[in-house]
Structure 1
Amino acid sequence: MTEHHAAPKVSELLDQIAARPGRKVSVADLLETFGDRAFGALMFVFAAPLVLPMPPGVSALLGAPLIFITGQWMLGRRTLWLPKALLERTMSKSDFRSLTEKLKPYLGKLERRLKPQLTFMYNPVGDRLTGLLCFVLALIVFLPIPFGNMLPSLAIAAFAIGGAERDGLAAIFGWIAAILSIAVLWFFSRAIWAAVVAFFSTLAGMLS
């Protein structure tokens, strides 16, 4: 992810999109506005809302683009490609403004604190590994796991905004959140599997 610190901030670009004429905002509009910052900016825009509790189905809606974006980051693509079906996805301008208004207070605080530091975290090998991790996290986000997408989304958002500002501390935070999210998911998956096994064992005992 090659980003330029002197470029407009992500919050400023979101304001530009919200100020455009029209009643709807498409993914294509976002891709056009963010330009060469599309990887980090779009990852943040799609992941950050999922850090908060969302209605059922939202994780699948936002998770699908995340899978495409993180997959291409993992493969080392320099420019982002999205299928036409995703590019044509839209939301109303009022919903977009509501979403950005919720994001901007947190995004503004992050942008004031983030700066290029520990940039050794960003290199071709590190970017591929981070892309692979984010791809796995995006798959988890896409799954209908109650509250199971909050920590993975936080990790993706940290990697995204850290990459946009070349801030290695954000990347370190992203790795910590990713490890915690995978550990939590693993813990609950084992508990669920144990409950299923216990249920069928009890049922078999009753029938024998």
Structure 2
Amino acid sequence: MSGPAEPGRPPDTRSLLDGFADGDPDAILPLRGLFEHLGDRAFGMLLVAAAAPAFIPIPGLAGGLSGPLVMLVGLQLLLRLRRPWLPGFIGRRGPRRRTLARLRDRLSPWLARLERVVRPRATVMLDHWLPGMITGLLVLVVGLLLSLPIPFTNYLLGLLVLLFALAFLERDGLLMAAAWVGGIASVTVFGLLSGSLARWAAQYV
């Protein structure tokens, strides 16, 4: 569990995850309810929910659930929406509390370290339209890569999505810049890898 938030500062990421994860483990948390009342941090919490299936070791689950939802968030960032929009049939669905609790427990040691250095800063990276569109494009392409059947990439791409999410939730522009670096590297490496796999498969089909 994380400590209390500093006066005047919004709850940190671990506190938000604690609030959503505590309770009936079988209860389903509708995605729309995850980002209500979060203001400009809503995209971050939606990305956390989108990344959660990537850490469940069931083949195809990350691509079928995480990838399209991450792409939807990226598209909305490109369109400069002020808060996430979800169609009704998606907004009424969501992860079980136990899934968020498992994700919280797995990330808690790392979040504890990160929270010592992350803080609201360089917010132009979050508020200006041009960096916002670059972020949206990177999130969109990372979601596309997450949807592709590239072996052994779910965890790495899921962690990258969480890095974008944490930058939104903590309003840390420098952390967003780090997510850009990771996103560009992943797009380059996994984009080339997926192309190589496609060419390899075409030779044997």
Alignment partner, residue 10 of structure 1: 13
Alignment partner, residue 54 of structure 1: 57
Instruction: Return 5+ residue gaps in structure 2 as ranges.
Output: 1-7
Corresponding residue to 1:77 among 81, 93, 97: 81
**Cα pair 2:145 2:191 within 8 Å, conserved:** no
SS in 2 for 1:162: helix
- Separation in 2 of the partners of 1:19 and 1:53? 19
**Cα pair 1:154 1:174 within 8 Å, conserved:** no
The one-letter code sitting in structure 1 at the alignment partner of 2:169 is A
Quote how far apart the aligned CAs of 1:64 are. Answer: 2.6
- TM alignment of 1:107-122, pairs within 5 A: 107-122=111-126
Query: Over the residues paired in the alignment, what is the CA RMSD in angstroms?
Result: 2.7
Quote how far apart the aligned CAs of 1:162 are. Answer: 1.5
**Cα pair 1:25 1:91 within 8 Å, conserved:** yes
The one-letter code sitting in structure 2 at the alignment partner of 1:68 is L
Corresponding residue to 2:168 among 163, 167, 173: 163
Alignment partner, residue 28 of structure 2: 25
Q: In the superposition, relative to structure 1, how do residues 191 and 140 fare at CA in structure 2: closer, same or farther (>3 Å)?
A: closer
Judge which range, 163-172 or 145-154, deviates more: 145-154
Larger radius of gyration: 1
Q: In the superposition, relative to structure 1, how do residues 55 and 34 fare at CA in structure 2: closer, same or farther (>3 Å)?
A: farther
Structure with the bigger percentage of helix: 1
Q: In the superposition, relative to structure 1, how do residues 34 and 107 fare at CA in structure 2: closer, same or farther (>3 Å)?
A: farther
- TM alignment of 1:1-208, pairs within 5 A: 6-20=9-23, 23-26=26-29, 27-32=31-36, 34-47=38-51, 50=54, 54-59=57-62, 60-122=64-126, 123-196=128-201
Identity %: 33
- Separation in 1 of the partners of 2:24 and 2:97? 9
The one-letter code sitting in structure 2 at the alignment partner of 1:166 is R
SS in 2 for 1:113: coil
- Separation in 2 of the partners of 1:163 and 1:25? 24
How many pairs align? Answer: 195
TM-score, normalised to structure 1, is 0.78
